[in-house]
């Protein structure tokens, strides 16, 4: 190796993570900004099981989309986004909506969308 090259590597200081900061794609930064702007879902009224059952039956029979808020909080104490879609099926434990299995005991609020 030449003396110049040896000198360069002796003096070089790696910037560590700083050098990788510029490698975010515009799609990544757009998604990050969108997630920051999303407001937490508002708490909806807890419905009785009878009211939930009536709406689910009506939506299933008439092939209507439903909007379901699950009784589930994130680590910050906020409700997640509503699950929207057609009821694709059901069993004794829950229903299938938009590719999600939702247990009957997890449903907080449901409405026709």
Could you give the CA distance from residue 31 to residue 21 in angstroms, rounded to a whole number? 16
What are 21-60's pLDDT values in tens digits?
Answer: 566 666 777 777 777 666 667 888 899 999 999 999 999 9
E strand or H helix that includes residue 43: none
Query: What domains are defined for the chain?
Result: 3-37 (no CATH), 49-112 (2.30.30)
User: Which three-class secondary structure state does DSSP give residue 69?
Assistant: strand
Confidence of residue 107 (pLDDT cuts 50, 70, 90): very high
What's the whole-model pTM score?
0.61
| H or E element at residue 11 | helix 3-11
- Residue 65 structure tokens: 């989309």
pLDDT in tens, 50-92: 999 999 999 999 999 999 998 888 887 888 888 889 989 888 8
Quote the DSSP letter at residue 98: T
**DSSP assignment of 70-90:** ES-B-TTS-BPPPEEEEEEEE
């Amino acid at each position: 190796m030449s003396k110049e090259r040896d000198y360069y590597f002796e003096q070089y200081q790696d910037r560590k993570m700083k050098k990788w900061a510029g490698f975010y794609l515009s799609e990544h930064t757009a998604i990050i900004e969108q997630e920051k702007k999303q407001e937490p879902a508002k708490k909806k009224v807890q419905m009785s099981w009878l009211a939930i059952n009536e709406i689910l039956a009506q939506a299933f029979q008439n092939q209507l989309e439903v909007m379901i808020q699950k009784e589930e909080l994130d680590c910050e104490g906020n409700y997640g986004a509503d699950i929207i879609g057609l009821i694709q099926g059901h069993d004794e434990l829950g229903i299938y909506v938009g590719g999600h299995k939702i247990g009957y005991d997890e449903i907080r609020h449901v409405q026709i969308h």
